[in-house]
Amino acid sequence: MSPRTVVLGFDALVFDYLDAFDLPNFEALRERGSEAPLRSTHPPWTASAWPSMYTGTDPSHHGVYDFFHYGTDYPDDAALVTRENVGAPALWNYCSARGLPSIALNMPVTYPSDRIDGVSIPGYLAPAGAPGHPEGIREELTEALGEEYRIYSRAETSDDKRAKLEGYLELIDVRRRAAEYLLSTREWRLGIFQIQKTDAVFHNFGEPEAHRRIYAAADAFLGTVLETVPEDTNVIVCSDHGIGPMEGYRIYVNDVLRDHGLVEATTEGEPMSFGAAKHRLLEDSSGDDGDDTVDADGDSGSGSSVSPAALAVSTAASVLDRAGVGPADVYSAAQRLGLEGVLQAVVPEDAKSGATEHVDWAASKAYCRGRNELGIRINLAGREPAGVVPEDEYEAVRSEIIAALEALRTPDSRPAFEWVCRREEIYDGPYIEDACDVLFMPQGMDHAVETQLVGRQFVGAEGYDHKPHGAFVASGPAFEPVDLDTLSLVDIAPIVMASLGQPVPARMTGAIPEGLLGTPTAVEPYADLTIDTGEDGATDDRIEERLSDLGYL
């Protein structure tokens, strides 16, 4: 019999919080295993990072840089990414090719589900009712659990904080019992499970007690898995990125580029908003009407034109304007309250330019098209639909952008970016043409990037946001107890394949740290491997609210 390996992915898991709380199962695993900080990919976001983990490649090799696929189109035409945008095989595909059955539960960006030897049920970004593989597996789980198997939690987007947190905890428990059932009733060699709410709780709750409760639920999940799998199972715990307090600024990058003559603004048409249908996103599954929330059209769930919170912003906007506070300040306040969609209705008339102008993608030389990409795209002639930058000026424009961002200082006179570089300094894969032309990293990941035009380069930020380093812990017969330096997220997949006693696929860009495994590892091409999702990958507009809930929109 071949070895078994179970991989438990906890979104945004970091050692700081593992150390802060009483978590007996994590503590026991760490005591008997090896651990290391786990460096995420660029950019360090859920949609690009989890595919990097399960394919063993960086975004330029699998093709997903954001929650939306742009290609060479302008942002208005972007579509939510699906498994079909991930242009590399996943761990379960390689295992199927070697005759090893797998269980893949709740992994982000896995809709539509791969047809594999085993079980695959999609996670984040899948429609709430998305089927899994094999046919009927979700119905089977629902019957076994005695309640609906859910991809998203109840009250996921509710303003009722208590209901939201209880929904998070309930969902983790559903995931725990589903993992126990599948591990107990299916033949498997690879089990891979993901918990998302260890990330979401920080985006939505500032209270340490909420963080502790979610981590405790994650610890219970880990404990159940450890009790269910055979004693000789290899266990890997990992996260896609880290998280921590953000105390810097919101950097309005397109305002920076506009000040350098690179971005053109327009008041025609509608500003780009991926949250335009946000109030419809969970209608089929949440049981939450979302009262007192406001969608991009200014309609609240209760049917009134503006919610009480929006009226408060309206009054505050008038007062602030008379006090000399500009549109960027008003916009930032509305954004923190989730009310940017009603901004045009509530800001004073003479401050509306900062709220109604948006990037004219076709007319601009360059722009930041998505806040999660951490990069600038050049509107290149012959590549973009209406490119305005001639090919012979491409490098000059890139140099101009790099110089502008490197020179940018925050209001407290510190460099805004840790580094700024050309994309080929980071990426070398076959999907590099889909990447931004210039990449950057906010200083210490203590600043958030925004794409709106608000008339100001910086606005104060607060809350929590992603950090570059997550956590890695490994224990089991395949692993040696060694001191490890920082690992890369793309190292996880090669480590998993080797722990299963299988050759590492040649197309993986990650590496196995020296001394971590007790046996040598071969490399093979897996040349005949195919990926079969069996579906067309149709998406669901309601997913967008979930992105907003995590702070991605």
pLDDT in tens, the chain (553 residues): 789 999 999 999 999 999 999 999 999 999 999 999 999 999 999 999 999 999 999 999 999 999 989 988 898 888 889 999 999 999 999 999 999 999 999 999 999 999 999 999 999 989 999 999 999 999 999 999 999 999 999 988 888 999 999 999 999 999 999 999 999 999 999 999 999 999 999 999 999 999 999 999 999 999 999 999 999 999 999 999 999 999 999 999 999 999 999 999 998 865 544 333 223 323 333 333 222 222 222 222 222 223 333 333 333 433 344 344 455 555 555 655 555 554 444 444 434 445 568 899 999 999 999 989 999 999 999 999 999 999 999 999 999 999 999 999 999 999 999 999 999 999 999 999 999 999 999 999 999 999 999 889 999 998 999 999 999 999 999 999 898 999 999 999 999 999 999 999 999 999 999 999 988 889 999 987 878 876 544 444 444 554 555 454 4
Cβ atoms of 223 and 37 closer than 8 Å: no
Residues of the chain with CATH 3.40.720.10: 5-245+465-549
Q: The whole model's pTM is what?
A: 0.85
Residue located via tokens 């309930």: 170
- The contacts of residue 365 (CB under 8 Å, 6+ apart) are 261, 262, 263, 378, 379, 388, 389, 397
SS (H, E, C) 83-112: HHHCCCCCHHHHHHHCCCCEEEEEECCCCC
Q: CB atoms < 10 A from the CB of 182, how many?
A: 23
pLDDT of amino acid 419: 98
Cβ atoms of 295 and 278 closer than 8 Å: yes
Which pair of structure tokens corresponds to residue 168? Answer: 């998070």
Q: From CA 473, how far away is CA 15, in angstroms rounded?
A: 10
Residue count of the chain: 553
Q: Which fold has domain 5-245+465-549?
A: Alkaline Phosphatase, subunit A (3.40.720)
pLDDT of amino acid 327: 52
Largest Cα–Cα distance of the chain, in whole Å? 75
Pairing of strands 265-266, 458-460: unpaired
Question: What backbone torsions phi and psi does residue 508 show, to the nearest 5 degrees?
Answer: -70, 140
pLDDT of amino acid 549: 52
Burial of 502 (0-12, 13-18, 19+ CB in 10 A): buried
pLDDT of amino acid 300: 24
Q: From CA 239, how far away is CA 237, in angstroms rounded?
A: 7
Pairing of strands 34-39, 487-488: parallel
* Residues 112-123 as b or e (16 or more Cβ within 10 Å = b): bbbbbbbbbbbb
pLDDT of amino acid 137: 98
Q: From CA 212, how far away is CA 230, in angstroms rounded?
A: 29
Pairing of strands 464-467, 242-245: antiparallel
Q: How much is the CA Rg of the chain, to the nearest whole Å?
A: 23
